[in-house]
Amino acid sequence: MPASRQPVSRTGKPNPVDIHVGSRVRLRRTLLGLSQEKLGEAVGLTFQQIQKYERGANRIGASRLYALSRVLDVPVAFFFEEMPAEISGKGG
């Protein structure tokens, strides 16, 4: 399987950035009242794949993130907003 599908770190855990981005996808999806199935249909994916993205189990590629931003009506930067300093590397 390509590395882009496996964001798991050497410790066997998903990458914290992928988890954060996925949580932002979930946040926006639920704010819009969309099911995982409806979002998946809108971007040509199964609800299972949306679920994996939202958990951070699979990394979201740039083109897919762009498609999600269009459907969810937010800029791509939305998915990276409010990232904790320990993830982003930016201290207070």
Q: What is the CATH number of the domain that holds 22?
A: 1.10.260.40
User: What's the pLDDT at 84?
Assistant: 87
H or E element in which residue 62 lies: helix 62-72
Structure tokens at 65: 């993130």
In a domain? residue 88: no
Q: How many domains does the chain have?
A: 1
In a domain? residue 42: yes
Domain range for 63 is 3-7+11-80
CB 37 within 8 A of CB 47: yes
- Residue 1: pLDDT band (50, 70, 90) is very low
In a domain? residue 92: no
In a domain? residue 89: no
CB 55 within 8 A of CB 14: yes
Predicted TM-score of the model (pTM): 0.84
User: What's the pLDDT at 3?
Assistant: 47
| One-letter amino acid of 39 | L
10-58: pLDDT as tens digits: 667 899 999 999 999 999 999 999 999 999 999 999 999 999 999 999 9
CB 60 within 8 A of CB 28: no
